[in-house]
Structure 1
Amino acid sequence: MKAALWGLGGLGLGVGMMYWSDPRSGRWRRSHLQGKAVHAAHEAGCAAGVLRRDLAQRSRGVFLESLHRFRSEPVDDVTLGERVRAALGRVCSHPGAVRVSVRDGKVMLEGTILVDELKRVVPAVGRVRGVRAVESRLGPFAQAGRQAEPRGGALRRGPPRTFGSSHWSPSARFFGVMGGLSLASWAFRQRGALGLLLGVGGAVLGVRALSNLELRRLTGIGVGPRAITLHKDITVNAPVEEVFAFWDAMQNFPRFMTHVDEIRVDSSGRSYWKVKGPAGLHFEWEAEVTQRVPNKLLAWRSVKGTSVENAGVIHFERTPKGGTRLDIRLAYNPPAGAIGHAFARLLGVDPKRQMDDDLLRLKSLLERGKATGRETVTRESLSVGRGGRQTLMH
């Protein structure tokens, strides 16, 4: 057994030496690895600095907050009223509709408020330092806009929680990774269902902390097409009418998008996509245009029940020099969500890089009249128009 392990180890070492010492590509590989290592070290240094500052500031805040809790200090009614109004702004979507009056540390709240926020407002005001008692005379309403005062406003979810928010702070991510590693190491020493449960819990916690993505986005469950989002800005030196007409004819995409096998567009504007995925897999779905403003906006979304939910919107803007600025936002939900996205990248399929390459070919096609994807395609051979009308671009 030991001889076999030593043999495998020697074989692996020999293959590695051949890979890095190859006279044709070894020098480039070593230089590329060195650049990656320098970049990783730089990123690690920046992350360590951010973590150090975040830990220092949060520790100082916890210390001062604890100090104030154990030390009573007189607060005048004017200062206390301002503190209460500041607290209302964090838990109430219409703080201007709430009248605050303070007398001898006792706070009275009057006005109107949403029903969903009433249960948060009174406890939040009671936790304000210096408040002795809270009296509520608030009139709850189910929906804003139907009364004179609570109109507009943004819905408040209350103060952010350390581990309950969608985005964790650097300190929370650090402790999450450490907790995940601790659970995983403990799981190796356990047996049976307990060890398995601890291992799964540690893995989930570690991945959640490292990626800083919600579990719904990691798994792709219950988020629709919004698990992975991509954003790209590009300027094309071509009239906006021509660029919009090109994007409006989706049947042209397979000719310069190497990962798109086929797109068929019917007379109603619904499109049928067939796309090449990782490991040689193919995915198919139907999409429909949800918004179309000629030369300004084009938005689409996959129909319900498709294997890969996706959505996109493109804004077209005319530049002062007669070109077109494209603001492209894409979102999709691959199988297994962000975990499936990461697995696809390990297999060499990077949607962000594919998007960049496709847009560069698009730019070349519209500016120079020729681009190479699956084939060498010219601008004159492409059709434009909606619904698959075969009108050649000029």
Structure 2
Amino acid sequence: MMRGLTLLGLGAGLMYYLDPDCGRRRRARVRDQIEHRRHEIDTFSHKAARDLSNRVQGLASESWAMITPDGAPDSVVAERIRAALGRVVSHPRAIEVSVSDGRATLSGPVFADELGPLLAATAMTRGVRSVVDRLDPHPITTRHPALQGGKVRRRVGPSLDPWQRDWPPGIRLLAGSTGGALLLAGLFRGGITGLAAGALGAGLLGRSLTNASSRARIGAGGGQARPTMRTLRRSCPTSEASAGWEPGPGGGRRSDQGA
């Protein structure tokens, strides 16, 4: 029975792609899709390798900086703090930074929700020994002239948010590899443990392939649905589909039948 169904499906596929009227176009479409996917995989592999290399180099540099003494002058430390402000506050220019012997003093208006992340980021800056807080916190609904516009920051540092919309290429590659390994291990192990490992692996693998969070896939989080583009294609042969049609006024098309 199964052999008969297999042969039937194989014959149907051969008839579909070897059809004398539309077979050539269908085969060309398959070749184009394969080439497109190959190009996407090649581009993604290069991006993932470069992303992982940059992350490893950054981690090595940060680790080396933690174990080596820093003799940077106060002006350099102040610039490091200013560079970190843009990642944690929405209005970094409203904050005044001064450093004396490694003692960083912060002053100026800031959103109350950003106060804690700001102090943490300053304390983690290389060369900072202590932080003096002279900031003026305000609610997010304030009308303070220095806190108008900008983009409110919600998170501190480059930590990966599993619910975020896009994952970097290197993280996608690691997540996909880990998910594939867990899925295979779950299939071979079986039982409750294998089922849990397989489900976790399938989730990681699907997340890395689609690069869309589960919250976005199920439409949660208050997001809006993306519009769907629909394309109408004529089926082969085209002679019957185009019979009786001719260009109409204004570039449209009209039929001589009916009306």
Tell me the TM-score range normalised by the shorter chain.
Answer: 0.7 to 0.9
Amino acid at match of 1:122: L
2:57 corresponds to 1:57: no
The residue number in structure 2 matching 1:161 is: 159
CA-to-partner distance for each residue in 1:362-388, whole Å, 9 max, x for gaps?
xxx9x827457xx999xxxxxxxxxxx
Cα 1:16/1:152, change in 2 over 3 Å: closer
2:70 corresponds to 1:73: yes
SS of residue matched to 2:86: helix
**What CA distance in whole angstroms lies between the structure 1 residues aligned with 2:40 and 2:140?**
47
The number of aligned residues is 243
**What CA distance in whole angstroms lies between the structure 2 residues aligned with 1:376 and 1:161?**
65
**What CA distance in whole angstroms lies between the structure 2 residues aligned with 1:150 and 1:29?**
59
CA-to-partner distance for each residue in 1:227-250, whole Å, 9 max, x for gaps?
32x4xxxxxxxxxxxxxxxxxxxx
Q: State the TM-score, normalized to the length of structure 1.
A: 0.55
Q: Tell whether the 8 Å contact from 1:144 to 1:150 is kept in structure 2 after alignment.
A: no
Cα 1:175/1:214, change in 2 over 3 Å: same
Cα 1:371/1:207, change in 2 over 3 Å: farther
Q: Between Structure 1 and Structure 2, which shows a larger proportion of strand residues?
A: 1
Amino acid at match of 2:94: A
The residue number in structure 1 matching 2:96 is: 99
The residue number in structure 2 matching 1:201 is: 200
State the Cα distance separating 1:29 from its structure 2 match: 2.4
The residue number in structure 2 matching 1:368 is: 250
The residue number in structure 2 matching 1:212 is: 211
Q: Tell whether the 8 Å contact from 1:144 to 1:152 is kept in structure 2 after alignment.
A: no
Cα 1:355/1:35, change in 2 over 3 Å: closer
Higher-RCO chain (CA-CA 8 Å, sequence separation at least 6) = 2
The residue number in structure 1 matching 2:169 is: 170
Amino acid at match of 2:219: G
**What CA distance in whole angstroms lies between the structure 2 residues aligned with 1:355 and 1:153?**
43
Amino acid at match of 1:34: R
SS of residue matched to 1:189: helix
SS of residue matched to 2:87: helix
Amino acid at match of 1:44: I
Cα 1:162/1:371, change in 2 over 3 Å: farther
SS of residue matched to 1:353: coil
Q: Tell whether the 8 Å contact from 1:107 to 1:131 is kept in structure 2 after alignment.
A: yes
CA-to-partner distance for each residue in 1:252-300, whole Å, 9 max, x for gaps?
xxxxxxxxxxxxxxxxxxxxxxxxxxxxxxxxxxxxxxxxxxxxxxxxx
Cα 1:26/1:161, change in 2 over 3 Å: same
2:188 corresponds to 1:189: yes
Q: Tell whether the 8 Å contact from 1:167 to 1:212 is kept in structure 2 after alignment.
A: yes
Cα 1:355/1:202, change in 2 over 3 Å: farther
Q: Tell whether the 8 Å contact from 2:82 to 2:97 is kept in structure 1 after alignment.
A: yes
**What CA distance in whole angstroms lies between the structure 1 residues aligned with 2:8 and 2:213?**
42
Structure 2 alignment gaps of length 5 or more = 234-246
Structure 1 alignment gaps of length 5 or more = 231-350, 357-364, 378-394
State the Cα distance separating 1:87 from its structure 2 match: 0.8
Q: State the TM-score, normalized to the length of structure 2.
A: 0.80
CA-to-partner distance for each residue in 1:315-366, whole Å, 9 max, x for gaps?
xxxxxxxxxxxxxxxxxxxxxxxxxxxxxxxxxxxx313499xxxxxxxx9x
**What CA distance in whole angstroms lies between the structure 2 residues aligned with 1:215 and 1:376?**
50
Which segment is superposed worse, 193-202 or 116-125? 193-202
State the Cα distance separating 1:76 from its structure 2 match: 0.4
The residue number in structure 1 matching 2:178 is: 179
**What CA distance in whole angstroms lies between the structure 1 residues aligned with 2:104 and 2:18?**
76
The residue number in structure 2 matching 1:353 is: 230
Q: Between Structure 1 and Structure 2, which shows a larger proportion of helix residues?
A: 2
**What CA distance in whole angstroms lies between the structure 1 residues aligned with 2:33 and 2:148?**
53
- Percent identity over the alignment is 36
**What CA distance in whole angstroms lies between the structure 2 residues aligned with 1:67 and 1:355?**
59
Q: Tell whether the 8 Å contact from 1:144 to 1:151 is kept in structure 2 after alignment.
A: no
What is the RMSD of the two structures over their aligned residues, measured on CA atoms? 3.0
SS of residue matched to 1:222: coil
State the Cα distance separating 1:5 from its structure 2 match: 4.1
**What CA distance in whole angstroms lies between the structure 2 residues aligned with 1:111 and 1:99?**
6
**What CA distance in whole angstroms lies between the structure 1 residues aligned with 2:11 and 2:185?**
35
**What CA distance in whole angstroms lies between the structure 1 residues aligned with 2:184 and 2:6?**
25
Amino acid at match of 2:16: Y
Which segment is superposed worse, 33-42 or 124-133? 33-42
The residue number in structure 1 matching 2:147 is: 150
